[in-house]
A = this chain, B = another copy of it.
Amino acid sequence: MKLKELKNFQVPGFLAGGMACGLKKNGIKDLTLIVSEVPATAAGMFTQNQMVSPTVPISRKALKASKSMRAIIANSGNANAFTGPQGVKDCRAVVAATAKALDIPVQEVLTASTGVISVPLAVSKIEAGIPRLVNQLSPKGWTHAAEGIMTTDLVSKICAVQYGDIVVGGISKGSGMIQPNMATMLAFLASNVRIDKRTLQKALKAAVDPTFNCITVDGETSTNDMVLLLANGTAGNPGVKAGSKAYKDFVTALTHVCKTLAFKIVEDGEGATKFVTFKVSGAKTTKQAEQIGKRLANSLLVKTALFGEDPNWGRIIAAVGSAGVPIKPEKLEVVLNGTPLVKNGEHVKGVTASSLRKKMKHKEITIAIGLHMGKAHAETYTCDLSYDYVRINAEYTT
């Protein structure tokens, strides 16, 4: 199977668009709409935070109740989270306005929000914007759609691949408050593949777990995270059975798109100057490998050392030792961008600080941790912690 990345991004049978409806200042885009021209099967994964925006239960319920989906409406600039009963009403009003403008049933509309928490949503601006946005929808509208969901993102995030007649494409947003837990930030994915709802959900989980669920910018889990996937079947393939070659091909393509979009979020992490991969291997269980990876990726001391380009592997070891996973210190191995630093639990002699400092200047840093206790492994992707993270989050206002 050969995957081809698409530059001029379209997904057959889908229309997309993004516009400014006035939630943000200065005419910056804040409203995104994705529509399938025919009923699509749909799948979703949602934040594990218990304090959620009404967009989460409303979209979750719609996914469960409806066999097919037609649209995703999303706004940025306001998360509509912790906004009380009014927030629920506002969310339903956005869904209703979308259904009306598209002349489709309300249960075929999914919705998402992102932005500041606990501020009432200016729902009339969205309601006024939707009919105009419907008029702007186009098969090439994905770049606009990607812009409509940005918050502190510096760049918009899109990716699409093709194999045979099947296209898988998507957009995502995210920069801070990033530690997905079963879902992440916002990502909207679309494909022309024909696939049943149950298999689609299974494929989405398979693609999200090693990608969106393995990134962290700051260890924070948002109130609004979700990944939504629509598949409208216009490719005319005979359907995709779980476990078949067609399934594996689809998961491969979907994982590629998810990984690319997830990496774009890490690269665009608030204040990020480095892209860091922690490869933990030799663990007894995948969960333990992930736990150590997440501990490293969220360690303030490791993250600031990476920003300072300081090969302070003492901090790496201290973080491994405090991850809450039983380890054997005498077997520990640490390799930094190919250079062994620790072997059999001891500092490798002859590695000079100056050669290490040179390696730390790379934009991409890979730190491999060998536990030599089992066969499980996991990768975690993160960025460093810089002055700009503090600036962005000390100044971002309620």
Contacts and interface: CB of A to CB of B under 8 A. Distances in A.
Interface of A: 48-52, 79, 81-84, 116-118, 176-177, 181, 218-223, 298-301, 304-305, 307-308, 310-315, 317-322, 326-327, 329, 332, 342, 345-347, 353, 385-387, 389-391, 393-398
A301 B398 contact: no
22 contacts: A50-B322, A51-B318, A51-B329, A51-B332, A84-B347, A117-B315, A118-B314, A220-B301, A220-B318, A222-B318, A300-B300, A301-B393, A304-B390, A307-B390, A307-B394, A308-B394, A310-B398, A312-B396, A312-B397, A312-B398, A387-B387, A390-B390
Nearest to A386: B390
A105 to B, nearest CB: 29
Nearest to A220: B301
Contact of A385 (B299, B314, B321, B390): B390
B322 A220 contact: yes
A265 to B, nearest CB: 16
A314 B116 contact: yes
A86 to B, nearest CB: 10
A51 B320 contact: yes
Contacts of A176: 301
Given A329-B51, A387-B391, A117 B220 contact: no
Given A118-B347, A393-B308, A82 B317 contact: yes
Contacts of A221: 318, 321-322
A346 B305 contact: no
Given A300-B219, A314-B82, A398-B353, A49 B321 contact: yes
A304 B397 CA distance: 11
Nearest to A304: B393
Given A81-B318, A223-B314, A301-B393, 18 more contacts: A51-B320, A82-B314, A82-B317, A117-B312, A176-B301, A181-B322, A220-B318, A220-B319, A223-B321, A300-B300, A300-B393, A304-B389, A305-B393, A305-B394, A307-B394, A310-B398, A353-B398, A385-B390
Contacts of A82: 314, 317, 342, 347
A290 to B, nearest CB: 15
B299 A220 contact: yes
A360 to B, nearest CB: 10
Contacts of A315: 117
Contacts of A307: 390, 394
Contacts of A49: 318, 321-322
Interface centre among A81, A299, A300, A304 (most CB of B within 10 A): A300
A317 B118 contact: yes
Nearest to A221: B322
Contacts of A386: 390, 394
B317 A394 contact: no
A282 B325 CA distance: 30
Nearest to A50: B321
A398 B117 contact: no
Contacts of A84: 345-347
A82 B342 CA distance: 10
Contacts of A83: 347
Given A117-B318, A223-B321, A218 B300 contact: yes
A161 to B, nearest CB: 32
Contacts of A395: 308, 310
Contacts of A219: 298-300
The 6 closest A-B pairs by CB, nearest first: A117-B314, A51-B321, A308-B394, A304-B393, A221-B322, A50-B321
